[in-house]
Amino acid sequence: MTDSIHQRKAEHIQITLNEKVTGNHITTGLERVRFIHNALPEIDFNEISLESKFVNQTRKTPFMISSMTGGAAFAETINRNLAIAAEEKGWIFALGSMRALIESEEHRASFQVRQYAPTVPIIANLGAVQLNYGFGVDQCRQIIEMTDSNALVLHLNSLQEVIQPNGDLNFKDLLPKIEELTKTVGVPVGVKEVGWGIDGETAKRLCDVGVSFIDVAGAGGTSWSQVEKHRSNDPIKRIAAETFSVWGNPTVDCIVSVREKIGDQSIVASGGMYTGLDAAKSIALGANIVGFGRSILKEATQSVEDVITVMETKELELRMAMFGIGAATIAELQNSDRVQYKEL
C-alpha cells in the first residue's frame, strides 16, 4: 500500500507537469471581471502595501503556495525550493496531502521543510475522507507536530476518489468529525476543494462548525479528474473522467458566493490562478489570500531562484493593478468600487 501511494504522488507530479490537466470548456470566470482604470491614482507606487490579514494574523503579502506535493523522492526537491522561496518572500506555504507521512517513513523529509522556512506559516494537509478511514484527532496532531505546521487544511476530493484506483468513497458524516477536529486539534482548521469549487452554502455549513478558513479551489485550473484519467487503466473511468472535465463551480463565482455567506472569515482564492492581476481580481471580489499551484510547479523543479522570479512577477502585477485603480492597501482593493463582475 505504501509503495502505491508514493508511486501515485510521483505520477501526479509528472502528469501535472507534462499533460493537459485543465478542464474542457470551463474557466475560472476571471475573464468576467475587470477593473475601471484610474488615470489619476493619487498614490505613490512605492508606498503600496501588500500587507494582508489571514486567520486574524497580519501577513507580508496576500499570497500562498497552494498544496501540491509530498511523499515522493522528487517532491523533496520541489518542496525545499518552495519553502526557501516562501521564507524569502513571506508567502504562506501549504503542503501536499500528508496521509503518506503517517503510513510510511519513506520520503518523510519531503514534508518536513520547517528548517527552510522558519518564520512563515506552514499548513498541513489531509484528505477529509480519511476521517472515515482510521484517521482522527491523534493522527492529525501527529502530522501537525511532525511538520511544525501552524494550521491544518482538509481537502474535499470526492470526484477524484471515484476516478482514482482504489479510491476512498465513503463521504458520509464528515461534518461532525470536522467539527470535532476544529475543537480539539489545537490549530486553525481550514477546508479546501481540489479544483471543483466550494459554494457559499457549503462554506457556511463548514464555518458554522468551527472551520477557520475556506480555500475555494474552484474550477478553471487543474482538474483532478483529468489528472487521474492519465493514470487510469480502466477505460470506463477514463471516459467518465473526460465527461466530468466540464464539471465544477468557477473560481470567481465561488469567491463571491462564499463571501456572501461567511461574513468576514478568511477566504483563499485558488483554482486557475496564474498572475498578479488574477490575484487582484480575486481580492477585489472578497478573497483574503490567493493561492498559486501549478503556475509555479515547473519553476519549483528547477531552482529557488526561478521560483522567486515567478513570485516577484506576481507581486509586481498585483501592485500594478492596485496602482491602476488607486488602491494603496489591500483593504482599499477589497473595498474598491472600480471592479466590475458579470455573473453567469
- On whether 222 is known to bind a ligand per the annotation, the reply is yes
Domains and CATH numbers, the chain: 2-341 (3.20.20.70)
What residue type is 3 in one-letter code?
D
Residue with cell 481580492: 283
- On whether 237 is known to bind a ligand per the annotation, the reply is no
Per the CB < 8 A criterion, the answer to whether 330 and 49 are in contact is: yes
First to last CA, the chain: 44
Judged by DSSP in three states, 344 sits in coil
Alpha helix positions (H), the chain: 2-18, 73-89, 99-103, 137-147, 158-163, 174-184, 200-208, 224-231, 235-243, 251-262, 276-285, 294-300, 304-325, 330-334
* Cα atoms found within 13 Å of the Cα of residue 292, Cβ hemisphere only: 25
Judged by DSSP in three states, 62 sits in coil
- On whether 66 is known to bind a ligand per the annotation, the reply is yes
**Tell me, what's the pLDDT at 223?**
85
**Tell me, what's the pLDDT at 74?**
85
- On whether 97 is known to bind a ligand per the annotation, the reply is yes
- On whether 68 is known to bind a ligand per the annotation, the reply is yes
- On whether 67 is known to bind a ligand per the annotation, the reply is yes
**Tell me, what's the pLDDT at 8?**
87
Cell of 31: 475573464
Going from the C-alpha of 327 to that of each of 137, 161, 196, 311, the distances in angstroms are 43, 42, 31, 21
Q: Per this entry, what is the length of the chain?
A: 344
Question: ∠ CA(81), CA(144), CA(200), 5° rounding?
Answer: 90
Which mean pLDDT values do the consecutive 10-residue runs of the chain (344 residues) have?
A: 70 93 93 99 99 95 96 92 99 96 88 98 98 98 98 98 94 99 98 98 99 98 89 95 95 99 98 99 99 97 99 99 99 98 91
- On whether 319 is known to bind a ligand per the annotation, the reply is no
Long-range contact pairs involving 114-117 (C-beta distance under 8 Å, separation at least 24):
114/83, 114/147, 114/148, 116/80, 116/83, 116/84, 116/87, 117/83, 117/84, 117/86, 117/87, 117/93
- On whether 270 is known to bind a ligand per the annotation, the reply is no
Judged by DSSP in three states, 253 sits in helix
pTM of this prediction exceeds 0.85: yes
Burial class (CB in 10 A: 0-12, 13-18, 19+), 163: buried
- On whether 19 is known to bind a ligand per the annotation, the reply is no
H-run or E-run covering 302:
none
Which phi and psi (to 5°) does residue 133 adopt? -130, 45
H-run or E-run covering 123:
strand 122-127
β-pair type (63-65, 339-341): unpaired
- On whether 69 is known to bind a ligand per the annotation, the reply is yes
Q: What is the DSSP string of 18-53?
A: HS--BPSS---SGGGEEE---S---S-GGG----EE
The Cα 73–Cα 227 span in angstroms is 19
